[in-house]
Chain A
């Protein structure tokens, strides 16, 4: 009898997960909270501060979506996920979207049935070594012991890189960034490899960041972006255009400082007016209210502001814009037009 009840409960849980796949936007509105999957803690991208308040570049995307949909940037339930649990969490409906430096790949898009709504950080896999090791290129790493987070694309890139260069290595698989950091600092591995941005973020938390160098080789393309489940295009559109609104806002010069003024009444620039809802009905098309993009931008600022505040050159992580500059400045960050 007990078994039957248990199986019944399992089935109900399964059915509930299946049913929620349909209209995520309505679910989020009804719930009054956005469930957003983030990392278990990567300073600059997603990490809780001393008061337990989540902050970071990826967190900024979650908050912007929450502000656009619910009008409240704080109405987010952050769900920490590991490299292993993130896809199951998203596929099962435990989270509505995943903003956890996840690489856009064909198999994840097609085989795992997820929709990547865009790229919020163009990254590549790099290597970090202690300066004392005297290594200046990843090609000199033959025979090294490499710490690597398991369940990520980095694992496969690493195998490919060493095979292509005919070198051997000893992989040390690790579950989370924190454990990797501990093993790397204790010298249990010579090298730590993950996305270059993650390495910079990790290095910033070391006692002596200057004792560690990032090697020049970037061995892969890692376009990182938020993703949602396949099969709910309306919800995908909401997340996609929220991200695009942040990017366009930077391009058009809408900042958290001047947004109050620009959004108060229709101005000279028609595209700014359309984004901020003072002209046209873009919000209505998305199933949101007219001020959706304004709320999203006010949540944490435009794309450039989010970047500078969390991971930019004036933060301990000190990442330069590089590929992540706006397209006019020679970068790859580009939003389709709001029309």
Chain B
């Protein structure tokens, strides 16, 4: 009997890798891993070999050649003689712009709709249900094209603003022009500005930083810090003497006055859009394509976020609300101070994946002619250079990096709000 329970002593034999259950699973995993890696290696070498046979060795040198095409919406300076790399960067910034604007708008709409859907008001909650079901059950591409079609077909062309009795007029005291090519809004200009700082010289990654804005931001933030200091002193005085000194005008003054003085020194004025030639000139031009894409992506993703928020709120035990009510806390305070903070723990993880979805869905931009990175690097550059493999690899890498960054940031936020277990 003792020989049966004795653990296997002595020599290790190769056959034990298969017949001994202690080693078998590891053997299988290692064999599978080797097979998998071999397959991947073979695929890569096969692709490279075939491309070389076709006379198209993978190379990224084309990225530094002149792009030759123009891009309408550019956040940095760019012209058709800049490199493909620069064009890709302009596209990347456009992608990031619509992704950030989309995530912000989707979160705001989503939270409001999610809360309203739980409202006791029958009409409000039904309306929100219709919105949610309507948006999330239709492909986002259709919403994007639909939004664009509405903008193009219903708004007046710039032509309509011309003449003695124009068919269309500018809105908000002649400052905003709403046309079917986009919305032109006034922009702040500095007549005595201190110029821009050029970063990275003449390379493809160059960009300008407005010193005016930096000066304004630093003065404003300094004002806020001083205001906080005054508040702390007021608190200290109150704690010590029981009388709170009236400081609100001081706090307002240190924030507003220096900023206002700096604005005056820099000669800040508004530049208004004006009809000149074919189009409105001056002001900031928010293109149709951006508005349509932004609206469609935000409304679509907001429908999903609304459901996540609703689920999060319902996950908070009813006892919490009742306890808050028993303490006499008002319903809206209960929501913001008791329910939502606890619901966040349930909301954040699925919210991350919706942010990722929105960012990746922004690659549908070409449907409305928005020049995001798929439109520049993965569209025109791919087409003009014929480098499918290289451009698509770079494109995938860009989206991977954006997505991992979003998840990284949101996971860090999740860490900070999740239940602290001690």
Contacts and interface: CB of A to CB of B under 8 A. Distances in A.
A155 B36 CA distance: 44
Interface string B50-94: 100111100000000000111110000001110000000000000
A173 B279 contact: no
Contacts of B46: 11, 14
Nearest to B160: A187
A173 B384 contact: no
Interface stretch (B252-260, B365-373, B403-411): B365-373
Nearest to A174: B369
B277 interface: yes
Contacts, number: 118
A190 B43 CA distance: 49
B369 A172 contact: yes
Interface stretch (B2-10, B151-159, B344-352, B412-420): B151-159
B346 to A, nearest CB: 31
B181 A145 contact: yes
12 contacts: A11-B43, A87-B383, A88-B388, A143-B281, A150-B369, A150-B380, A170-B279, A173-B375, A174-B369, A186-B153, A187-B157, A230-B55
A144 interface: yes
Nearest to B154: A186
Nearest to A147: B369
A188 B157 contact: yes
A84 interface: yes
A125 to B, nearest CB: 14
A280 interface: no
Interface in B184-226: none
Nearest to A1: B32
B386 interface: yes
Contacts of B384: 107, 151, 155-156
Contact of B371 (A163, A173, A187): A173
Contact of B379 (A144, A151, A160, A169): A151
Contacts of B68: 155-156, 159-160
A170 B383 CA distance: 21
A158 B152 CA distance: 23
Contact of A188 (B56, B80, B278, B288): B288
Nearest to A112: B386
A84 B278 contact: no
B179 to A, nearest CB: 9
B276 A111 contact: no
A183 B70 contact: no
Interface string A31-45: 000000000000000
B180 interface: yes
Contact of A84 (B35, B40, B72, B379): B379
A183 B152 contact: yes
Contacts of B380: 150-151, 155, 173
Given A84-B382, A156-B80, 4 more contacts: A3-B36, A143-B276, A162-B70, A187-B158
B317 interface: no
A232 interface: no
B47 interface: yes
Interface string A158-202: 111011000001111111000000110011111000000000000
Nearest to B384: A156
B122 to A, nearest CB: 40
Q: A-B pairs with the 3 shortest C-beta distances?
A: A187-B157, A159-B80, A151-B383
Contacts of B81: 163
Given A11-B43, A88-B388, A143-B276, A186 B157 contact: yes
B386 A159 contact: no
A244 B53 CA distance: 31
Contacts of A112: 386
Nearest to A173: B369
Contacts of B369: 150, 172-175
Query: By DSSP majority rule, is chain B's interface helix, strand, loop, or mixed?
Result: helix
A7 interface: yes
B36 A4 contact: yes
A186 B36 contact: no
Contact of A143 (B80, B157, B277, B385): B277
Interface in A52-69: none
Nearest to A158: B70
Contacts of B382: 84
Contact of B181 (A11, A156, A188): A188
Contacts of A142: 277
A47 B307 CA distance: 45
A83 interface: yes
Given A142-B277, A190-B278, A14 B50 contact: yes
Contact of B70 (A171, A190, A230): A171
A111 B61 CA distance: 14
B39 A186 contact: no
A144 B181 contact: no
Nearest to A11: B43
A274 interface: no
A174 B56 CA distance: 29
Interface string B126-169: 00000000000000000000000100110001110000000000
A156 B181 CA distance: 23
Interface in A73-132: 83-84, 87-88, 107-108, 111-113, 132
A267 interface: no
Contacts of B289: 172
A18 interface: yes
Contacts of B152: 182-183, 186, 188
Contacts of A174: 369
B366 A145 contact: no
A70 B40 CA distance: 41
B278 A150 contact: no
A190 B277 CA distance: 11
B203 to A, nearest CB: 22
Nearest to A179: B369
A111 B50 CA distance: 16
Contacts of B375: 150, 173
B366 A150 contact: yes
Interface string B230-262: 000000000000000000000000000000000
